[in-house]
Structure 1
Amino acid sequence: MPLSPRATLLRDLVLGVLGTAAFLLDLGADLWAACQYVLSGHYLWAALVLALLALASVAMQLFSWVWLRADPVGLHGPQPPGRCLALLHLLQLGYLYRCVQGLQQGLLAWRQEAPSEFDLAYADFLSLDISMLRLFETFLETTPQLTLVLAIVLQSGRAESYQLVGICVSFAGISWALLDYHRALRACLPSKHLLGPGSSVIYFLWNLLLLWPRVLAVALFAAIFPCFVGLHFLGLWLVLLLWVWLQGTDFMPDAGSEWLYRVTVATILYFSWFNVAEGHTRGRATIHVVFLLSDSVLLVATGMTHSTWLPSGVPLQTWLPVAGVCFLLGLALRLAYYRWLHPRCSWEPDRVDGARSLLSPERGSQLPQNRRAAQLAHTFFPKAKGAAASPVKGEANGVL
């Protein structure tokens, strides 16, 4: 039975609070780890943690600022002056400002007995932007941080309490961001295929199970060859960036900021699949899986030939087989998800893509929807070839 608008808003409010708390918890874990590295004399490790944190934060503020400037004038209603907004982003507080703004709008709509169409649509608009920013931050900061921590644990042969906390928080945060992003994109589907509890669990698990082997392979190589892992990342990242560019992405409002998006997507592709172009993506997704699997196998094989350099207490004989089983299980769950649980819908070409229309009764004019999220949803989910296309046998066009 579908939820009422107020029940949906309450659920989204709870998820928004949890997402913001997860972001702050992950930030606290990173700062705690950096402080511990400084106190123990490992200044390089602390510098790497802070550098990854700073780079990801700058990129996230840039995305947020570019999107705000590209939004129609008056869409967001009363806001701080432009200089104050710019200062917030300069102080790396733009994302938290958006989280607070989203929670305020959701609470405002929830308090109404019958929420207006405009308030519901605007709450969706803000939520979609927050979900995209959270996903970008996850792969620009959380996933590299997790790889770094695992490499340090492998190199030192032991795991401190703050490192274990960081590993658990990172894995949970990554899978949560992927699940939240996928759920947000489903809200843009015309047929409103929401993610149920069973589908959510499967989606959460296959992302977690496929990500763990990739992170472990890179961490193992980084622990044994710390001077070469940067070259490996740069070489692979350039290839992936070229691949993204050749697919002709058109996501950001201008050509300059489009490269920020391409750089971010190339980083995501280094760890996981991310679809950026329309069309039948099954072949591209298969190529990417084979490419990453081959690279991971090479990294592990190279690392195992020099595994004697690692401390004797590192249980690689247990970790690597478990990682292999996780990969196979994750791949099976992924195939099962896209075979039976992935939504298939037809997009109506003469209507604006999105969940709700931002129509303000007070102004009597239609405002643009969150076309950023709608565009990605249009890319991630299938387009049926005609109204008579079968919803079951339709070709999958998404994150297979």
Structure 2
Amino acid sequence: MPWLPRAALFWDVVLGFLGTAAFLIDLGADLWAAGQYVLSGRYLWAALVLALLGLASVALQLFSWVWLRADPAGLHESQPPGRCLALLHLLQLGYLYRCVQGLQQGLLVWQREAPSEFDLAYADFLTMDISMLRLFETFLETTPQLTLVLAIVLQSGRAEPYQWVSIGTSFVGISWALLDYHRALRTCLPSKSPLGLGSSVVYFLWNLLLLWPRVLAVALFSALFPYSVALHFLGLWLVLLLWVWLQGTDFMPDARSEWLYRATVATILYFSWFNVAEGHTRGRATIHLVFLLSDSILVAVTWSTHTSWLPSGIPLHVLLPASGLCFLLGLALRLAYYRWLHPSCRWEPDRVDGTRGFRSLEGLQLPHNSRMTRLAQNFFPRVREAEAALPRKEEVNGVL
């Protein structure tokens, strides 16, 4: 195998290992924070940390289990029996098992001089599922935990060392999960060129800069009105859930699990943009941006009349202008990315459906992650348009 592909496979394994390590470190930090809150007598804070951690973990296990049950028979031949897998998911270890399985497959592919197309496709299949689960975990647990920590710091007027570490790692982890998900979308559509280093850095930065003002807005609202933030979240979440439902999502294998997906997407949309429907996304992204911006401005107006509720040491005169500058810079980087750095869509006619698909290779069906492919086709609408523009196979062969 050429040196460059082997190097790329090596870095895929390294990034997979780092992602798994980051998940374990984040889990340990959350448990450490909960323990510290208990020791200091702040039982409500500890309960909130553990509740967010538990709810996110249950959702992740449900996604993982439903996907495994929906995958083609015989695809995961090396997996343990179904009862063992069910037990792993009941013990909240399903996502961690997937990470370990992905690392094993990645090492297997990297160690072989000439890995088969099936092994390569299966490694991609596992990586895409892990990337999607990591994104869900990020917005169901990491982002709410970050908001909670910021609210606690703003309310108390000081931050402990472990809280600063939690804040920094959370921001980086959230932006990294968004970047990793975006790269995974491009992986499952080979007609899309991969993200370069410069594009990846800019994509990482604009997500980080746009996320900070939103998280700060919700954190300040939580610090000022700790008993009203639940109503605020629930009200916006119901509106976003309705919006997702009206777009007619079709991601999960059955109608009941589809509502789990819609509820998760509504939670993501509370903090950041996430596309769920086919077609051009510029209009929907603009509507979502204006919606969140309007909500954050209303929260900012509320701050201005209740700042006396916060400790005097909180530098709101610095935080508010800084968050506004972050938003403007993030928006500018986002526009620059999609104008000049977004990899172009180069359609390859020999790839009929624009995906790796379940293509035959000497009688062997290659694994194809249809879940991620549907999302990728929604995110990159020109792929679907190019597919529709291609002549059908019957037309090419002169058959009506």
TM-score interval w.r.t. the shorter chain? over 0.9
- Deviation string 1:213-255 (CA, Å, 9 cap, x unpaired) is 0000000000000010000000000000000000000000000
TM-score normalised by structure 2 residue count: 0.93
CA-atom RMSD, angstroms?
A: 1.9
The amino acid across from 1:153 in the alignment is: V
- Deviation string 1:359-389 (CA, Å, 9 cap, x unpaired) is 565xx23245101111111111131655899
Q: What's the CA shift for 1:352?
A: 4.2
Q: Is the 8 A contact 1:354 1:374 kept in 2?
A: yes
Alignment-derived partner of residue 61 in structure 1: 61
Alignment-derived partner of residue 334 in structure 2: 334
Q: What's the CA shift for 1:304?
A: 2.2
Specify the SS of the correspondent of 2:381: coil
Alignment-derived partner of residue 238 in structure 1: 238
What does 1:120-139 correspond to in 2, within 5 Å? 120-139=120-139
The amino acid across from 1:218 in the alignment is: V
TM-score normalised by structure 1 residue count: 0.93
The amino acid across from 1:29 in the alignment is: A
**Compared with structure 1, are the counterparts of its residues 378 and 388 closer, same or farther at alpha carbon in structure 2 (3 Å cutoff)?**
closer
Alignment-derived partner of residue 365 in structure 1: 364
Q: What's the CA shift for 1:6?
A: 1.8
Q: Is the 8 A contact 2:33 2:162 kept in 1?
A: yes
Alignment-derived partner of residue 395 in structure 2: none
The separation in 2 between residues aligned to 1:73 and 1:249, in whole angstroms, is 25
Q: What's the CA shift for 1:7?
A: 1.8
Alignment-derived partner of residue 167 in structure 2: 167
Alignment-derived partner of residue 179 in structure 1: 179
Alignment-derived partner of residue 323 in structure 1: 323
- Deviation string 1:1-28 (CA, Å, 9 cap, x unpaired) is x973322211100110010111111111
Specify the SS of the correspondent of 2:365: strand
Q: What's the CA shift for 1:76?
A: 1.1
Specify the SS of the correspondent of 2:190: coil
The separation in 2 between residues aligned to 1:350 and 1:194, in whole angstroms, is 17
The separation in 1 between residues aligned to 2:247 and 2:350, in whole angstroms, is 22
**Compared with structure 1, are the counterparts of its residues 358 and 172 closer, same or farther at alpha carbon in structure 2 (3 Å cutoff)?**
farther
Specify the SS of the correspondent of 2:115: coil
Q: Is the 8 A contact 1:213 1:326 kept in 2?
A: yes
The separation in 1 between residues aligned to 2:364 and 2:29, in whole angstroms, is 46
The amino acid across from 1:371 in the alignment is: S
Q: What's the CA shift for 1:169?
A: 1.1
Q: Is the 8 A contact 2:122 2:366 kept in 1?
A: no
The amino acid across from 1:309 in the alignment is: W
The separation in 2 between residues aligned to 1:89 and 1:246, in whole angstroms, is 31
**Compared with structure 1, are the counterparts of its residues 352 and 84 closer, same or farther at alpha carbon in structure 2 (3 Å cutoff)?**
farther
Alignment-derived partner of residue 352 in structure 2: 351
Alignment-derived partner of residue 289 in structure 2: 289
**Compared with structure 1, are the counterparts of its residues 174 and 358 closer, same or farther at alpha carbon in structure 2 (3 Å cutoff)?**
farther
**Compared with structure 1, are the counterparts of its residues 69 and 52 closer, same or farther at alpha carbon in structure 2 (3 Å cutoff)?**
same
Q: Is the 8 A contact 1:192 1:355 kept in 2?
A: no
Q: Is the 8 A contact 2:357 2:367 kept in 1?
A: no
The separation in 1 between residues aligned to 2:155 and 2:129, in whole angstroms, is 38
The separation in 1 between residues aligned to 2:356 and 2:192, in whole angstroms, is 7
- Deviation string 1:269-300 (CA, Å, 9 cap, x unpaired) is 00000001111221111111011001001112
Residue-pair matches, total: 386
Q: What's the CA shift for 1:323?
A: 0.4
User: Identity rate of aligned residues, in percent?
Assistant: 78
